[in-house]
Structures are given as C-alpha cells and as structure tokens.
Structure 1
C-alpha cells in the first residue's frame, strides 16, 4: 500500500531513519535551493530514490491544500496486525520497557505531536484503541515529522485487556488524571512503566482509570483546568526521564 508524506522535516527525518520506504519524491518546479532541500537531494542520490518536478497545483491537490513546503513523498507502508503475543515480544526486547497508551486521541494533529514527543523520549511502543482514535494518516505523519515510522504503533480492540496483560508482566500502569490529588512531581516513578494519556476534553475513560495502579496529575494554575494532550504527554514523559536520570 502507499501513502504520502510532505514537508521538509517529515521527509528529512524519514530519509534518515527509513529511506527504503520512499517510492518517489516530488519537488515543486523552480523551488529555491536551500540547505534543507540540498540535504534531501543528497539523500535522494545516496539512496537512489526516484524524484521529479511538479506544479504547485498538483501538490495542493495531493495534500488537500495543506502546507507542503513544495515537497511530497510517496511512501510504502505495511498494515501489520499485532496480537497480544506480539506486544509481549516487543516489550521483552527492552530491559526497562517504556510504554505509552493514548486513549481517545481523535485529532490527527494531537496524535502526531504525541508520537513525535514519544519518539524523542525513547518510548518503546505506543498502543491505541482501534475505535475512537485517529488513524495514522498523512497529517499524523507530517506533524510527527515522520517519526511515526520509527517505533511500533499498535491498535488493539481492548485497552483493558492489554493493561491487564502488561500488569501480568510486572509493568506499572500510570494514568494521567487532572482530578487526582497526587502529582507527578511528588511520586517516584520507576521503570518498567506504562503511561496512559486521554483526550484533553474527556481524559481517559473511567474503565481505564479503574485499571490503573496509580493516577497522577500535573499541577495547573490561573484557572487552567487542562492542557493540550501533546503538551501533557511531554511533561509526563520527560519528568519520568528526569527522575530516572538523576
């Protein structure tokens, strides 16, 4: 199957991490050569990726008038069906698994930003529900700067079933909940762990909360009662890293 990815940073990141995914790259006619485009052209030559010039109208139509910066790539992707045993196999590759579950993240911009943050924080695997979740579409790939191709992202039928599976493998389940009286800064968090983040409007579902080992919040001020989920995800993930580095 094929998909598209567009914009300088997503294409550069994917060229660095998985250049074999590219089928072809399209560049705007008379596109001014800058450092980013030079880097892309060097990698196109290095990995022998076909490319051609095209019009702005074609790029606008192909990206549904999104900001494409005059560059678009056609990429191969495989739809992989994972089962419970596959999740455990992936987790067992790591001494201290770091897992992120995203519950009801339906906005592709938010999902893409969460994925990018997770990759930066060295999360090992992302798990999402098959229903009430954004797909990994071109918007997700662009916002994530191509990082959605660099770690396992698994859609499952039942998050509760997967949470119990992780618990049985000695992984602590931590839910983000702005109503909790415990803050992330007052609790020492040790690997292996799984962090669960929910949508900024509804948070994680009650049934998911009930299956967490602990619920933690981020203290907020000035009558702000919630953060964008990608911002909250970054705070949680990097606070955990800070705690385990120092």
Structure 2
C-alpha cells in the first residue's frame, strides 16, 4: 500500500527522518530552483529515490487540489509497528514519561497540528481512539510537516483501559476542560504526566473526565469560549515544560 505527501517542508522533514519511506517523488516541470528544492535533490541523489517531472494538472489531481507547491512524494504506507501492548514498554524507556492522548480529534488538520506541537514539546508517545479519530492520512502528514513519522502514535480500542494502565504505572492523568475551575497556571504539575485533549466543540468525553486525576483549564477573555485544539495543546504542553525546567 502507498500514500502521498506533498509540500516542501513535509517532504524535507520526511527525507531527514525516514528517507526509505519514499517510493518516488514528482516535481513540477520547469519548477524554479530554490534552496528547498536543492536540498530535496541532494537527498534524492543521496538515497537514490526515483523522481519524475510532471504537470501542474497532474499534481492538482493527485493532491486533490491541495497546496502542493509543485512537489509530491509517493510513500510506502506501512501499518503501525506499535500496538497497545507496547505502550508500557515505550514509556519505561524514559525517566519522566510525557504522554499525549487526543480524544475525538476528527479533523486531519487539527490532528496534524497537534502532532507537530507534540514533537516540538518532546512528547514521548501519542495515543488516540480507533473510533472517532482522524487517521494518519496525507493531510495529517502535510500539516504535521512529516513529524508523524518521528514518535510512536498508537490507536487503541479503549482510552479508559489505557488510562487505568497508565495510572497503575504512577502516571498522573490531566484532562483539559474549559469548565474546570482549576487554572493550569495555578497548579504545579510534575512528571510523569499524561495530558488528555479533546475536540474544540465537544472536549473530552465525560467518561474520560471521570477517570482523570485532575481537570485543568486555560483562562480565556473577551467572550472567547474555546481555543483551537492544537493551540490549546501547545499551551498545555509548553506550560508543563516551563514548570519542569526550573
């Protein structure tokens, strides 16, 4: 099976992190050379990746009229090498595990942005429900700029079961909830931690909230009731990093 990835930054990042995933690369004929394109050609030559010149019409059709910037890669689509049974094995590799659970993130743009933010924040593993969650499609890969290949991303049948598993391994479960009276900046948060983020409209499910150790919110002003989930995820993750860096 195969999938596509398009745009300069996603392709460059994937070339850096997993060049063997490329089957071939297509480049717009007469595409004006720039530093990004030169970098891509260096990696194409280095890893002997087949490449072809093509038309804008072909790229538009293949990318379903997304912004491809004149470049598109065909990549091998592999099944995840991780399973729910690997979760504890993975977190035990780290002194202070940092885990992100994303509940009901169905928009691939939001999922891709959350993944990129998680990688930037040095999250060790992302866990998602198999149902009511976007899959790791080409849009997710593009928005995440290829970072979806960097850290373990595991889909599970039951988040509640995983939460209990994490609790049994002394990991604090923190849920994001805009109705909570506990403000994230007023609470001292120590590793090991699992942050749970929900969709912008619905938040995390009630059964998930019930199983959290604490629910925290981000104070908002001027009548704004919620933030985009990727923005909220960034605030939570980097506030935790700030607290644990001093």
Range class of TM-score, shorter chain: over 0.9
Partner of 1:99: 99
Q: Distance in 1 between matches of 2:68 and 2:190?
A: 41
Equivalent residue of 1:52, what SS? strand
Which digits, 9 at most, give the CA deviation of each residue in 1:68-90, with x for residues without a partner? 00000111131136444211111
CA root-mean-square deviation: 0.9
Q: Distance in 1 between matches of 2:33 and 2:178?
A: 47
| Over 4 Å off, 4+ runs | none
Q: Distance in 1 between matches of 2:143 and 2:26?
A: 19
Q: Distance in 1 between matches of 2:82 and 2:12?
A: 28
- Aligned residues, how many? 246
TM-score norm. by structure 2 comes to 0.98
TM-score norm. by structure 1 comes to 0.98
Equivalent residue of 1:245, what SS? coil
Which digits, 9 at most, give the CA deviation of each residue in 1:141-176, with x for residues without a partner? 000001001111110000000000000011000000
Q: Distance in 2 between matches of 1:21 and 1:10?
A: 13
1:135 aligns with 2:135: yes
Which digits, 9 at most, give the CA deviation of each residue in 1:81-119, with x for residues without a partner? 644421111111111110000000000000000000000
Equivalent residue of 1:200, what SS? coil
Retained in 1: the 8 A contact 2:6–2:72?
A: yes
Partner of 2:151: 151
Question: 1:148-227 residue pairs with structure 2 within 5 A?
Answer: 148-227=148-227
Partner of 1:47: 47
Q: CA deviation at 1:52?
A: 1.0
In the alignment, structure 2 segments of 5+ residues that lack a partner are none
Partner of 2:243: 243
Retained in 1: the 8 A contact 2:84–2:154?
A: no
Partner of 1:90: 90
1:228 aligns with 2:228: yes
Equivalent residue of 2:31, what SS? coil
Distance 1:82 1:12, change over 3 A: closer
In the alignment, structure 1 segments of 5+ residues that lack a partner are none
